[in-house]
């Protein structure tokens, strides 16, 4: 592959970088014509380094899978977002409805509200499961565990809905207990995997960028900028690897948020490298020469006779 071709994907990768670290956004760029993903090349010293071997494993086929999965991910995120908004509106309406209900109406209102709430939760789970199934950069073990816990949660929700329809719950205490059990036994274990999946995806993306950066380090100026970016990404990488050992859901989200902020700052450094690269690759400006007119001697006019 020529030197020019080895540089071309970096512009697209920077755009993907922005998308990858702002996972809350559901929109993606339109399909882009790009070069085939090339195998990551490493120096001999890196080949013996366990850290670079781990990065190479994480980055394998990440870009191609990212491009292939984004349509499904977009659709799943949009569906989940729609159901989440509907559930929030439903909960607001239910609070008002239950507040205004009299003693005889209260239990019926609670059952009706809980059933609709769980139905919308099922819609969210279904949409999220479609995303989990194709999410790039996630290990098969973690993906399988997330799918299994999602199915257990969905089964538990479905069982409760059936119980509500059958009139199993005869008082508010029964509704409170079943909701508490659903949260503690099924929902929290499922939630705990979501930050870990996000961390793994970001780690795969960081590994991909680090390996691509190594193939672009040619001039001294670009090498210096990429070394700065590598250190920046390595800091985000270390923060994300610590997520796997954390058990608290809120702390995991905070750690990922901090790592995401660090990764965003790395984008600016890569942009500086791109500017240097474009400047080095730009052809020299050709000076526009002024037209040279042929010198001609002026012809003397004949003298006029008086």
Angle at 148 between CA 143 and CA 151, to 5 degrees: 125
- pLDDT tens digits, 188-219: 999 999 999 999 999 999 999 888 877 765 66
Please report the pLDDT score of residue 280 as a whole number. Answer: 74
Please report the pLDDT score of residue 252 as a whole number. Answer: 92
- pLDDT tens digits, 24-46: 333 322 222 233 344 444 444 45
Check: CB of residue 117 under 8 Å from CB of residue 157.
no
For residue 302, name the pLDDT band (cuts at 50, 70, 90): low
Spatial separation of the C-alpha atoms in residues 213 and 40, rounded to whole Å: 10
Q: Which residue has the tokens 């565990």?
A: 145
DSSP letters along 31-99, please? P---PPPPPP---HHHHT-HHHHHHHHHHTTHHHHHHHHHHHHHHHHHHHHHHHHHHHHHHHHHHHHHH
Spatial separation of the C-alpha atoms in residues 137 and 118, rounded to whole Å: 30
pTM of the model: 0.74
> Does the pLDDT value for residue 106 go beyond 70?
yes
- pLDDT tens digits, 49-84: 888 899 999 999 999 999 999 999 999 999 999 999
Strand segments, DSSP code E, in the chain are: none
For residue 268, name the pLDDT band (cuts at 50, 70, 90): confident
């Amino acid at each position: 592959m020529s030197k020019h071709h080895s540089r071309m994907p970096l512009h697209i990768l920077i755009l993907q970088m922005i998308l990858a670290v702002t996972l809350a956004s559901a929109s993606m760029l339109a399909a882009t014509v790009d070069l085939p993903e090339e195998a990551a090349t490493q120096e001999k010293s890196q080949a013996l380094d366990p850290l670079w071997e781990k990065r190479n494993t994480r980055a394998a086929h990440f870009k191609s899978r990212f491009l292939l999965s984004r349509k499904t991910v977009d659709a799943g995120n949009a569906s989940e977002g729609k159901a989440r908004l509907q559930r929030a509106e439903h909960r607001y309406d239910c609070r008002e409805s239950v507040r205004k209900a009299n003693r005889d109406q209260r239990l019926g209102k609670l059952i009706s509200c809980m059933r609709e709430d769980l139905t919308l939760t099922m819609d969210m789970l279904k949409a999220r499961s479609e995303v989990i199934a194709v999410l790039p950069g996630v290990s098969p073990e973690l993906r399988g565990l997330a799918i299994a816990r999602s199915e257990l949660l969905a089964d538990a929700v479905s069982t409760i809905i059936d119980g509500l329809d059958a009139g199993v719950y005869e008082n508010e205490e029964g509704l409170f207990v079943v909701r508490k059990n659903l949260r503690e036994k099924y929902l929290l274990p499922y939630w705990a995997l979501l930050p870990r999946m996000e961390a793994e995806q970001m780690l795969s993306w960081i590994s991909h960028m680090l390996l691509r950066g190594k193939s672009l380090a040619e001039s001294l100026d670009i090498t210096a900028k990429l070394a700065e970016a590598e250190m920046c990404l390595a800091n985000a990488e270390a923060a994300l690897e610590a997520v796997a050992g954390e058990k608290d859901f809120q702390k995991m989200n905070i750690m990922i948020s901090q790592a995401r902020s660090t990764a965003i700052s790395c984008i600016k450094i890569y942009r500086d490298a791109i500017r240097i690269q474009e400047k080095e690759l730009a052809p020299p400006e050709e000076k526009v020469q002024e037209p040279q007119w042929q010198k001609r001697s002026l012809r003397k006019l004949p003298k006029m006779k008086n």
